[in-house]
Structure 1
Amino acid sequence: MNKFQIRKAEQGDKGRIWEIIQQAITLRKEQGSRQWQDGYPNEDVVKSDLDKGYGYVVEFDNKIIGYVAIIFDIEPAYNDIDGKWLSDGEYVGVHRLASAQDPHIKGVGTAIMKGVEEIAINNGIYSIKVDTNFDNGGMLHVFNKLGYQYCGEVHFRGASRRAFEKLLK
């Protein structure tokens, strides 16, 4: 049995989700990254995720230890890529992936991405598109380990980001 459980986030999870995102913001800063150092994501973004049904949490021993936004809508920034996506059809977009540092448990990012793949397949969508900062070694490692292919660069809030896609069938 998988030790991690992924489920749709509920409004009551908002406080814990925000704690985890703040921990991720602090970690990125400590690692010398500029990712998430510009006021994004913020509490309004988390509220919007929950209102739209995008938010998912990962639990371990009934404690929320991770968060991700799984988006079944078009991501406008993905329409303009310096490079080429593997596919042009429907896809699931992944944003705001964060894992808790209290406790820090190895494998949360991988568990989240495997959960995203399962959710996509269960919804009949066989492509996942995702991006991350150039210096986010943890996520770059997860994408590589799980077979995501580098497709080029996309731009968010004035910054270039590495874009990846994985086809699920």
Structure 2
Amino acid sequence: MRIRETQEKDLVFIDAIFNSARDFMRLNGNPQQWNQNYPTAKDVAQDIKCKRAFVCVNDEDTPVGTFALFDHEPAYDHIDGKWMSDTSYKAVHRIATVREGKIGSFIIKYLEEKYGHLRIDTHENNIPMQNLLEKFKFKRCGIIYIPGHGQRIAFEFVK
């Protein structure tokens, strides 16, 4: 597997990946975090234009995971809690994978190796994501509020 920038040709796979992630979340007690209107390939198309869309691809160059990487997340400016560091960071959003292998772990490991400071948030019912982040030494820092999506648990990784 490898990570690369998302291309327009990948969008056909992205909705299938999001649908797989929605099914996984619903089966694991988290039916509220994502709905059929968010996220979609349209969100990723906008991310492609902004150069912040990435896919994890298999050996055949088929997307098996997706995520967005932002230089700053305005919602993280206010936290009920405390961030570990005030240095510049990358904000990771909309991680989704097909349900095979250790793709989520591959993505998180890649991000930790490439960037020294990461922030990410997730829904309180997304226990699999919380466990993944804690496995990779992300620390819970508090609660943030995403406009239109509600409160989320904020995590941070600092090398």
CA-to-aligned-CA distance 1:102-146 (integer Å, 9 cap, x gap): xx22x11111011122332xxxxx210001111112211111111
AA of the residue aligned to 1:147: K
**What does 1:149-160 align with in structure 2 at a 5 Å threshold?**
149-156=139-146, 157-160=148-151
From 1, 22, 35, give the equivalent of 2:33.
35
Q: TM-score normalized by structure 2? A: 0.91
Deviation at 1:38, TM superposition (A): 6.4
Identity %: 31
| Counterpart position of 1:19 | 16
Q: 1:1-169 alignment to 2 at 5 Å?
A: 4-33=1-30, 34-37=32-35, 39-62=37-60, 63-72=62-71, 74-101=72-99, 104-105=100-101, 107-120=102-115, 126-156=116-146, 157-168=148-159
AA aligned to 1:78 is: Y
- Does the 8 A contact of 1:18 with 1:46 survive in 2? no
* CA-CA distance at 1:95 after TM superposition: 0.3
Match of 1:123 in 2: none
Alpha-carbon separation, structure 1, partners of 2:120 and 2:74: 13
Displacement of 1:22: 1.8
TM-score (structure 1 length as normaliser): 0.86
Gaps of at least 5 residues in structure 2 are none
Count residues in correspondence: 156
Letter in 1 for 2:42: D
Q: Which runs of 5+ in 1 are unaligned?
A: 121-125
| Structure 1 residue 49 displacement after superposition | 1.1
Kept after mapping to 1: 8 A contact 2:76/2:144: yes
Cα RMSD (Å) of the superposition?
1.5
Three-state SS of the structure 1 residue aligned to 2:88 is: coil
- Could you tell me how far apart the structure 1 residues matched to 2:107 and 2:88 are? 20
Q: What is the rounded CA distance, in whole Å, between the counterparts of 2:15 and 2:149 in structure 1? A: 24
CA offsets 1:69-119 (integer angstroms, 9 cap, x no match): 1112x2011001100000112000000000113xx22x1111101112233
- The alignment partner of 2:118 has SS state of strand
Deviation at 1:12, TM superposition (A): 1.2
Task: Give secondary structure in 1 for the equivalent of 2:125.
Answer: coil
Question: Which deviations, in whole Å up to 9, do the C-alpha atoms of 1:30-50 show, x marking residues without a partner?
Answer: 333211026211232111111
Q: What amino acid is the match of 1:23?
A: S
Contact 2:83-2:141 within 8 A present in 1 as well: yes
